[in-house]
Amino acid sequence: MSTPVSSTLSKADFQSGQETRWCPGCGDYSILAAVQGFMPELGIPRENIVFITGIGCAGRFSYYMNTYGMHAIHGRAPAIATGLAAARDDLSVWIVSGDGDALSIGGNHLVHALRRNVPVKILLFNNRIYGLTKGQASPTSEQGKVTKSTPGGKLDQPLDALSLALGAGATFVARTVDRDKEHLPAMLRAAAAHRGTALIEVLQNCPVFNDGAFEHVADKKQADAFRIPLEHGQPIIFGAEHERCVIRRPDGTLAVAPAGEVDAAGIVVHDAHRPDPSLAFALAQLGDLGQGPVPVGVLRQVDAAPWGEGLVAQARQAHAQIGTTELDALLQGGDTWTVA
DSSP sequence for 77-109: HHHHHHHHHHH-TTSEEEEEEEHHIIIIITHHH
What pLDDT, on a 0 to 100 scale, did the predictor assign at position 2? 46
Q: What's at 32, amino acid-wise?
A: L
What pLDDT, on a 0 to 100 scale, did the predictor assign at position 324? 65
Residues contacting 243, CB < 8 A, separation 6+: 258, 259, 260
Q: Which long-range contacts (CB under 8 A, 24 or more apart) does 84-90 make?
A: 84/50, 84/52, 85/118, 85/119, 85/120, 85/307, 85/308, 86/308, 86/311, 86/312, 87/312, 87/315, 88/312, 89/1, 89/119, 89/308, 89/309, 89/311, 89/312, 90/1, 90/2, 90/48
Q: What is the pLDDT of the chain when averaged over all its residues?
A: 93
Distance of CA 89 to the CA centre of its chain: 20
Delineate the domains of the chain, giving CATH numbers in brackets: 11-233+275-301 (3.40.50.970), 235-269 (no CATH)
CA atoms within 13 A on the CB side of 329: 6
What pLDDT, on a 0 to 100 scale, did the predictor assign at position 3? 46
- Phi and psi angles of residue 304, each rounded to the nearest 5 degrees, phi first: -155, 150
What angle do the packed helices 324-331 and 311-322 form, to 10 degrees?
A: 90
pLDDT in tens, 319-331: 677 666 676 777 7
Residues contacting 232, CB < 8 A, separation 6+: 270, 271, 272, 273, 298, 301
What pLDDT, on a 0 to 100 scale, did the predictor assign at position 6? 45
Low-confidence ranges of the chain (pLDDT < 50): 1-6
pLDDT in tens, 54-63: 999 999 999 9
Q: Using a cut of 0.85, tell me whether the model's pTM lies above it.
A: yes
